[in-house]
């Protein structure tokens, strides 16, 4: 008995709680009766210790044979389905095992271990339910983890990636299986990796790092700017087991920061000119499609402004807007600039370079001065537009193009086609929609509005309070021919703002070329053009006077000039007005 008790005592902590345990001695008396046995049978330990075991099988006496055989013949029974009787006379089916306890091949007692099958079924159902709940909880956590718009990953204290969500896959280009187990610097390839990055501060010093910005290299070789947060990862024992980082691609934010400027909106394509109104209407319609657009017009008329306006009103507005001046590169370099090149593609190609087409994926590519492309590059560009695929210089892998093309030129492409300098088939590819921007000299009715717009804009930029041009200065800018169009006008007014210290821009603040224009024009016998500007000014004044019911102060206010200046101009142009209307 002492040996048996020692065995029981040594194993108390490891015994399975649901199991009833009864130890029966050689003389068929109960010497151990545990709490589970009491719970299942209803008998207390005090009631049964020292009693013969027969009562356990009161209603199924035949099944006591297993105990007797084990005691007498040293037989082990496992997974027996037998029936016992509880203290109320109820029959309970149990799953049991009977094991002899021996010394020197002599059986001293047997251990009868049993479990209520109903309890087992209940426990199994409960375990199944808990398992199902745990699985559901895990699935919810996985769904939350992977639906997070932020890239999220964790690392252990050895810098190995231990989890990697769906957004992280999209932003880095690496699949979860590729990232798990890798060092974080092998996936992100930032110049700050292992060089004082935010994760070092978190892992080594336990610091939470918020809002750090850096660039990583995507699997495809593209640089991606990201903003990151990192914090120490703690387990349920409050032990530091690594770090967790969330990051977000801020290339869209940077792109919008660069483009979402008041200057690049339809509203700031300033003008009441009939043609400008029609252009704005076309821009609004074109922006809702992905069709190729050709913007034509003289230098300085706002072709890039129109292209950016289309981009920012389109479904691609969160994508990049990439502009390339086709006349700014030598022919030998332009192909690489547009399509990129592979390492070793030519002398000096020491690493792979991503071209403008690839940088503009998901956005808009603006090909300025497309009329200056060589015929060789035109041929390659035509193929790209037809197949929507391109290859880097020196590469053999086709890259799908997901880019809207907007082209611009200050040349007459019809003349260029006639002179065999521009491919006719390329012209029809890029000229699905044509938007022609008129020169400033053809929209002088908008001139006062443009001047007023730039005065307001530069007042903000220079923190000044300039109100207007003096009458003599305004006469000079109205009479000037503006070969550089709106861009030249903007630059001229900025020049005036730099020099002007008062509230009115005087003649001496104007650029020299404008001050001397009348004299030069006279020398060049350009009086007919001068007359054209004066006629336009006269028509503008008459139009504004009629709009304001011939109220001279209101008309002067709209024209942004003094009433005295308006009166003088009316006299110069012989515009009559009733004296009773003031």
Please give the Cα distance from 418 to 421 (Å, whole number).
8
In tens, the pLDDT along 308-328 reads 889 988 899 888 999 999 988
Q: Would you say 230 and 205 are in contact if contact means Cβ atoms under 8 Å apart?
A: no
In the 8-state DSSP scheme, what is residue 11?
Answer: T
For β-strands 30-33 and 20-25, DSSP reports them as antiparallel
Give the mean model confidence (pLDDT) for residues 542-568. Answer: 82
Which pLDDT score, from 0 to 100, does residue 147 have? Answer: 67
Residue 403: pLDDT band with limits 50, 70, 90: very high
Which pLDDT score, from 0 to 100, does residue 258 have? Answer: 55
Classify residue 126 by burial, with Cβ atoms within 10 Å: 0-12, 13-18, 19+. exposed
Architecture of domain 441-572 in this structure: Orthogonal Bundle (1.10)
pTM for this structure?
0.50
Q: Give percent above pLDDT 70 in the chain.
A: 89
The class of domain 2-118 in CATH terms is alpha beta
12 pLDDT above the threshold of 50: no
**What is the enclosing helix (H) or strand (E) of 297?**
none
Task: Using the CB atoms, write b or e for 526-556: b if 16+ within 10 Å.
Answer: eeeebeebbebbbebbbebbeebebebeebb
3-state secondary structure of 93: strand
Which pLDDT score, from 0 to 100, does residue 4 have? Answer: 46
Q: How many residues does the chain have?
A: 582
Choice between 77 and 196, residue whose per-residue pLDDT is larger: 77
488 pLDDT above the threshold of 80: yes
Choice between 203 and 459, residue whose per-residue pLDDT is larger: 459
Residue with tokens 């750090």: 212
In tens, the pLDDT along 511-534 reads 999 988 766 555 544 444 445 667
Residue with tokens 């008309």: 555
Q: Where are the domains of the chain?
A: 2-118, 149-249, 256-438, 441-572
Please give the Cα distance from 11 to 412 (Å, whole number).
98
Q: Would you say 362 and 407 are in contact if contact means Cβ atoms under 8 Å apart?
A: no
Please give the Cα distance from 60 to 57 (Å, whole number).
5
CATH 3.40.50.2300 for the 149-249 domain, yes or no: no
2-118 and 256-438 in the same fold: no
| CATH, range 256-438 | 3.40.50.300
Q: Which of 53, 27, 28, 62 is nearest to 114 (CA)?
A: 53
Choice between 219 and 10, residue whose per-residue pLDDT is larger: 219
């Amino acid at each position: 008995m002492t040996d048996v008790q020692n065995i029981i005592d040594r194993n108390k902590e490891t015994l399975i709680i649901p199991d009833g345990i009864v130890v029966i001695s050689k003389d068929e008396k109960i010497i151990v009766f545990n709490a589970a046995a009491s719970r299942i049978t209803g008998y207390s330990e005090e009631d049964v210790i020292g009693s013969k075991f027969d009562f356990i099988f009161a209603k199924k006496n035949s099944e006591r044979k297993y105990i007797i055989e084990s005691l007498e013949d040293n037989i082990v029974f496992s997974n027996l389905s037998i029936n016992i009787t509880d203290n109320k006379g109820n029959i309970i089916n149990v799953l049991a095992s009977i094991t002899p306890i021996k010394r020197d091949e002599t059986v001293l007692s047997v251990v009868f271990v049993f479990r209520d099958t109903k309890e087992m079924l209940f426990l199994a159902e409960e375990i199944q339910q808990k398992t199902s709940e745990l699985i559901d909880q895990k699935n919810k956590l996985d769904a939350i983890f992977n639906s997070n718009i932020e890239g999220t990953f964790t690392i252990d204290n050895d810098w190995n990636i231990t989890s990697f969500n769906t957004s992280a896959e999209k932003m880095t280009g690496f699949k979860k299986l590729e990232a798990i187990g890798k060092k974080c610097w092998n996936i992100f390839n930032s110049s700050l990796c292992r060089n004082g990055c935010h994760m070092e501060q978190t892992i080594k010093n336990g610091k939470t790092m918020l809002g750090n910005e850096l660039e990583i290299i995507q699997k495809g070789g593209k640089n991606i700017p990201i903003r990151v947060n990192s914090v120490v990862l703690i387990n349920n024992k409050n032990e530091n087991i690594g770090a967790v980082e969330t990051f977000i691609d801020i290339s869209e934010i940077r792109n919008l920061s660069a483009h979402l400027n008041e200057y690049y909106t339809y509203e700031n394509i300033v003008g009441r000119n009939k043609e400008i109104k029609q252009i704005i209407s076309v821009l609004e319609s074109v922006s809702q499609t992905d069709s190729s657009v050709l913007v034509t017009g003289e230098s300085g008329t706002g072709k890039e402004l129109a292209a950016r306006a289309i981009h920012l009103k389109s479904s691609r507005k969160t994508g990049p807007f990439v502009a390339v001046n086709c006349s700014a590169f030598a022919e030998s370099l332009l192909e690489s600039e547009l399509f990129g090149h592979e390492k070793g593609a030519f002398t000096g190609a020491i690493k792979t370079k991503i071209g403008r087409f690839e940088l503009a994926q998901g956005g808009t590519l603006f090909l300025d001065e497309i009329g200056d492309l060589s015929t060789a590059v035109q041929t390659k560009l035509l193929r790209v537009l037809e197949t929507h695929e391109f290859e880097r210089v020196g590469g053999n892998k086709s890259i799908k193009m997901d880019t809207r093309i907007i082209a611009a030129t200050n040349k007459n492409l019809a003349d260029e086609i006639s002179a065999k300098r521009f491919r006719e088939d390329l012209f029809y590819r890029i000229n699905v929609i044509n938007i022609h921007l008129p020169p400033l000299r053809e929209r002088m009715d908008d001139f006062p509005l443009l001047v007023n717009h730039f005065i307001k804009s530069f007042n903000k930029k220079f923190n000044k309070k300039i109100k207007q041009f003096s009458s003599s200065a305004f006469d000079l800018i109205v009479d000037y021919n503006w070969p550089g169009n709106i861009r030249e006008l903007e630059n001229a007014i900025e020049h005036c703002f730099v020099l002007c210290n008062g509230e009115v821009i005087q003649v001496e603040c104007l650029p020299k070329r404008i001050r001397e224009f009348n004299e030069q024009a006279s020398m060049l016998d350009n009086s007919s053009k001068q007359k054209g500007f004066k006629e336009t000014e006269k028509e503008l004044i008459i139009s504004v006077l009629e709009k304001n019911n011939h109220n001279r102060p209101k008309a002067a206010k709209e024209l942004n000039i003094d009433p005295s200046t308006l009166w003088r101009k009316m006299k110069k142009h012989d515009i009559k007005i009733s004296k009773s209307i003031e």
